[in-house]
Structure 1
Amino acid sequence: METSASSPSVSDTPPGHTRIFLVVVDDTEEMRAALAFACRRARATDGRVALLRVIEPSELQHFAFIGKIVEHETREQAEQMLQRMAAEVNRRSGHLPSLHVRQGKPVDELLALVREDPGISVLVLAAGRGKEGPGPLVTACGAGLGSRLRIPVTIVPAGMSEEEIERLA
């Protein structure tokens, strides 16, 4: 399941012509650093940003009606969040991002999107610094996810400030 914004789709850009920096939008603090970095790199290279929000399946599978309501509300919240993030990306990078909402397991949906969309050039993640570790996707990269992707992965170090990100070339 995918929702695209009214902005150009990542697939509309021929591969190799524009760098597309993919950011997985979640509820972590470090996601903001990944977003700032991706916007900075997109602005510096005349690239674009793509945002992916993955909705994990409802645990209310045996209550189908309630599960559908929860799924619908969760999807609406995801789309609203991406719209807010799109405004920020536009302000920071100068371009509207492409937006993707998918349902499933984050690693599976990330791999599927990258496989399906040849325009995506770089995955941008940020490491967390909490006691939970660097974050599930960064951990997955160390456990073999990186070798299953066809694109490079940039990991923004934990605790990197917006000012430090802006000073990067």
Structure 2
Amino acid sequence: VRFASKRAANTKGGIILLKIIEHSDPQHWQSVEEIILQEARDEAQEKLKKWSKVINDLSGITPELCIKEGIASEKIIEILEEDNAVRFLVLAASSGDQPGPLVSLLAGQKSGKLPVPIVIVPQDLSDEAIDDLASRAK
């Protein structure tokens, strides 16, 4: 979130903070499924509030908080197609051998379907390096 926060502050932009709840296989016990989904929504809201504070502390920006349910890559593409104000999709790559399944999917086979460029921030970049990169975006 550091890169997105600093870049948005430098360009006088905004941030959409998105959490996607991916459904498990449909269950026969719909009332149990609804309880599980409500708990997931509550947990997502708490995580978004936590990250919203981090973003606000870094940049002074209060991000738009968004919770969607479904397949992550499909929901991201849907939001990017609906919101013409979005200029970049910022994703964080994991520090392991692979960048992570969502980054791999969106930067790989789904990249041609995205209406905006992807910025992938390596997890191991220092705060100073991230701040330097974000400050160049004016």
Tell me if 1:136 matches 2:101.
yes
The CA deviation string for residues 44-77 of structure 1, in whole angstroms up to 9 with x for no partner, is 1111111110001134622211111000010011
Distance of 2:48 and 2:106 partners within structure 1? 24
Partner of 2:3: 37
Aligned residues: 134
The percentage of aligned residue pairs carrying the same residue is 34
TM-fit CA distance, 1:110: 0.5
**TM-score by structure 1 length?**
0.74
Distance of 2:115 and 2:3 partners within structure 1? 20
Q: Which runs of 4+ in 1 moved over 2 A?
A: 141-144
Partner of 1:69: 35
The CA deviation string for residues 67-122 of structure 1, in whole angstroms up to 9 with x for no partner, is 11000010011011111111111111111101110000100110111111111111
Q: Is there any run of 5+ residues in structure 1 with no aligned partner, and where?
A: 1-34
Contact 2:5–2:61 (8 Å) recurs in 1: no
Tell me if 1:151 matches 2:116.
yes
Contact 1:58–1:71 (8 Å) recurs in 2: no
Structure-to-structure mapping, 1:1-169, within 5 angstroms: 35-59=1-25, 61-131=27-97, 133-168=98-133, 169=135
Moved more, 57-66 or 152-161: 57-66
The AA in structure 2 aligned to 1:164 is: A
Higher helix share: 2
Q: Is there any run of 5+ residues in structure 2 with no aligned partner, and where?
A: none
Distance of 2:7 and 2:108 partners within structure 1? 26
Q: Alpha carbon RMSD of aligned pairs, Å? A: 1.4
The AA in structure 1 aligned to 2:3 is: F
